[in-house]
Structure 1
Amino acid sequence: MALWDRFKESAQTMQTQLNAKKNDLKSGAFRDASMAMCALVAAADGSVDPSERQRVASLIATNEVLQNFQADDLQRRFNDYVNKLTADFAFGKVSVLQEIGKVQKKPGEARAVIQIGIVIGGADGDFDKTEQGVVREACFAVGIDPSEFDL
C-alpha cells in the first residue's frame, strides 16, 4: 500500500475515533486547544495564505466533533491564533503550544487535539514534514509520545 493510501486510511480512522468521542469533547479547553492546533498546522511554514485559511476554516466548520461549538466562535478563535502566529511565528508558537498544553490533564482530549491536527494537516493530501513537526511539538506539550501517532 502506498504511503499516501496508508496515511489517508489513518486519517479516516482518526476521524472515526474522534466522532465516537464527540460527546466527551465539549470543554472550553478542548475547543481552545483544537483551534490552536488548527492554526498551528495551518501556519506550520510560518505563513498562512488566504486560500489555506479558508480551507482550514471550511474543515473546522464541517468537522463533526467541532460541531459541539458555535462555528463563528471557532472561526474567531482560529483567526486569533493564526494572527498571533503570523505576527511573530516563534513567539506565537510558544503561546499556541501553551494553549494546547492546557488539555494535558485530560488524556482523551489531548489525544483528540493531536488527531485533529493530523486530520487538518493531511486534508490537502500532503501532511508534510513541517506540519508533522508542529504536531510532534504539540504531542510534547500535552505529554503524549509522538511515536503513538507515528510522528
Structure 2
Amino acid sequence: MALWDRLKESAQTMQAQLEERRNELRSGAFRDASMAMCALVAAADGQVDPAERRRVAYLIEHNEVLANFPADELLERFEGWLDRLVADFDLARAEALREISKARRKPVEARAVIRIGIVIGGADGHFDLMERSVVGEACQALDLPPHEFDL
C-alpha cells in the first residue's frame, strides 16, 4: 500500500473514532485544546501559509465532531492561536501546549485532541515530520504515549 493510501486510511480511521465519541466531546476544555492543536499543526513549520490557514478553517467548519460548537466560535479561537503563533512562535507554542494539557483530565477528550491533530495534519495527504513532531509534543502534554497513535 502506498504511503498516501496509508495516510488517507489513517486519517479516515481517526475521524471515525472521533465520530464514535462525538457526544462525549462537548466540554470547553476539549474545544479550546482542539483549536490550539489545529493552530499548532497549521503552523508546525513556524509559519502560517494563507492556503493552509484556509484549508484548516474549512476542515474545522465541516468536521462532524467539532459541529458540537458554533463554527464562528471555533474559528475565532483558531485564528487567535494562529495570530499568537505568528507573533511569537516559541512562546505561543508553549502556551498552546499548556492549553492542550488541560484536556488530560478526561482521557477520551485527550485522545480526541490528538486525533484531531492527526486528521488536520493528514488532510492534505502529507503528514510531515514537523506536524508529527507537534502532535507528539501534544501527546507528552497529555501524558499519552505517541506510539498509541503511530507517531
Q: TM-score, normalised to structure 2's length?
A: 0.98
Q: Which residue identity is paired with 1:110? A: A
**SS of the counterpart of 2:105?**
coil
Give the percent of matched residue pairs that are identical in Structure 1 and Structure 2. Answer: 66
How far 1:3 moved relative to its partner?
A: 2.0
C-alpha deviations, 1:58-77, integer Å up to 9, x for none? 00000000000000000000
Question: Number of aligned pairs?
Answer: 151
Q: Which residue identity is paired with 2:147? A: S
- Give the Cα–Cα distance (whole angstroms) in 2 for the partners of residues 8 and 136 of structure 1: 19
Residue 78, structure 1, aligned to residue 86, structure 2: no
After the TM superposition, list the runs of 4 or more consecutive aligned residues in structure 1 that deviate by more than 3 angstroms: none
Matches within 5 A, 1:1-151: 1-151=1-151
Q: Which runs of 5+ in 1 are unaligned?
A: none
- Give the Cα–Cα distance (whole angstroms) in 2 for the partners of residues 14 and 50 of structure 1: 26
Q: Which residue identity is paired with 1:39? A: A
- Give the Cα–Cα distance (whole angstroms) in 2 for the partners of residues 119 and 43 of structure 1: 15
Q: Which runs of 5+ in 2 are unaligned?
A: none
How far 1:49 moved relative to its partner?
A: 1.7
Q: TM-score, normalised to structure 1's length?
A: 0.98
- Give the Cα–Cα distance (whole angstroms) in 2 for the partners of residues 149 and 17 of structure 1: 12
- Backbone CA RMSD of aligned residues: 0.6
